[in-house]
């Protein structure tokens, strides 16, 4: 018992000493759980570059792709909670996987990681192939109900936010639609343009140029308010379908147990970065709108994401591919 108490006291003193030291006093690793080049990677590099200046220490991006982002997330979850290993996460995707792949992932998003800040939100938009005789979201609802089992919708994968958006839509309107999964947005969009599938809830960045070029018809954005990139496209609520506000969230997380002063410092610096017009422009170039949230607000938002998608997955009886 004395040995255990001595060990506990030693660990407590070490933790106190770590907090007392100026943070950071060495380089910080920002793990991006996807290969280079994607939205998460680019957003991570924007944050890393600006945090390097703000913190006075190098923030190094470390790409750990694989398993839909779970390999990198697990690496951070199992790292020392000292603020020197962080996750640049695709938070909506991680929240979906928390339920969809619960039996295979080896970390608990809600328990093993703690939010530093949600930094960006990528909106989604309902699009249809131009050959489909619908021009509004209400007309799509009517078409789906009049043609049960005939309206096909594409997605970039079983656990993608695009798939979940469509499943939520199906549940809300009570229609029988057919899911056609693809390995990524690129091939899904190609078949949608070609008319091999009829509709899709897709991220705005992936569909914007096709919409502007007349190759896809936009029916509604799944955000609370209209967005600057598609100002003439109504929200789903404006178009008559409520309860399908969906966006792909991105943010920074740390291992659970990271001292609160470190979380607060990182969040404060991130808020300053997100207030910079040039940083906002860099994020928007990836289709992400800057989001300013405290650690507490970020934690609440992630909990809502986990809860929302757990219910959709259960109600729609979705299984991992």
pLDDT digits (tens, 9 = 90+) for 240-259: 999 999 999 999 999 999 99
Per the prediction, the chain carries an average pLDDT of 92
pLDDT per residue as tens digits for the range 209-240: 999 999 999 999 999 999 999 999 999 999 99
> What's the Rg (C-alpha) of the chain?
21
H helices of 231-276, in order, are 260-274
In the predicted structure, residue 1 carries a pLDDT above the cut 60: no
Residue length, the chain? 321
pLDDT over 80 (residue 6): no
Q: Is the pLDDT of residue 3 over 70?
A: no
Domains and CATH numbers, the chain: 26-122+248-316 (3.40.190.150), 123-221 (3.40.190.10)
Q: What is the full DSSP assignment across 140-190?
A: HHHHHHHSTTTEEEEES-TTSHHHHHHHHHHHHHT--EEEEE-SSHHHHHH
Task: Give the number of other Cβ atoms within 10 Å of residue 89's Cβ.
Answer: 30
Q: Please name the residue that has the structure tokens 């990271």.
A: 258
């Amino acid at each position: 018992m004395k040995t255990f108490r001595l060990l506990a006291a030693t660990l407590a003193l070490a933790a106190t000493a770590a907090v007392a030291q100026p943070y950071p006093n060495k380089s910080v690793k920002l793990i991006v759980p996807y290969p280079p080049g994607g939205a998460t990677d680019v957003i991570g590099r924007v944050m890393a570059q600006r945090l390097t200046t703000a913190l006075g220490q190098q923030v190094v991006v470390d790409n750990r792709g694989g398993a839909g982002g779970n390999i990198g997330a697990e690496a951070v979850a199992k790292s020392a909670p000292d603020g020197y290993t962080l996750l640049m996460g695709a938070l909506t995707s991680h929240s979906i996987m928390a339920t969809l792949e619960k039996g295979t992932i080896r970390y608990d998003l809600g328990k093993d990681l703690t939010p530093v800040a949600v930094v960006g939100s990528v909106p989604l938009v309902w699009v249809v192939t131009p050959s489909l005789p619908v021009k509004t979201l209400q007309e799509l609802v009517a078409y789906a109900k009049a043609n049960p089992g005939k309206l096909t919708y594409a997605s970039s994968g079983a656990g993608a936010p695009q798939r979940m958006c469509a499943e939520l839509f199906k549940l809300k309107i009570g229609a029988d639609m057919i899911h056609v999964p693809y390995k990524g947005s690129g091939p899904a969009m190609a078949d949608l343009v070609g008319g091999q599938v009829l509709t899709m809830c897709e991220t705005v960045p992936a569909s914007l140029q096709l919409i502007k070029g007349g190759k896809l018809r936009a029916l509604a954005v799944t955000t609370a308010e209209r967005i600057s990139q598609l100002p003439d496209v109504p929200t789903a609520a404006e178009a008559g379908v409520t309860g399908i506000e969906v966006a792909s969230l991105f943010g920074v997380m740390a291992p659970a147990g990271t001292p609160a002063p470190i979380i607060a410092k990182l969040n404060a610096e991130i808020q300053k970065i997100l207030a910079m017009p040039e940083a906002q422009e860099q994020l928007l170039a990836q289709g992400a709108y800057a989001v300013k949230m405290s650690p507490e607000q970020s934690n609440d938002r992630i909990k809502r994401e986990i809860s929302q998608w757990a219910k959709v997955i259960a109600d729609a009886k979705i299984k991992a591919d």
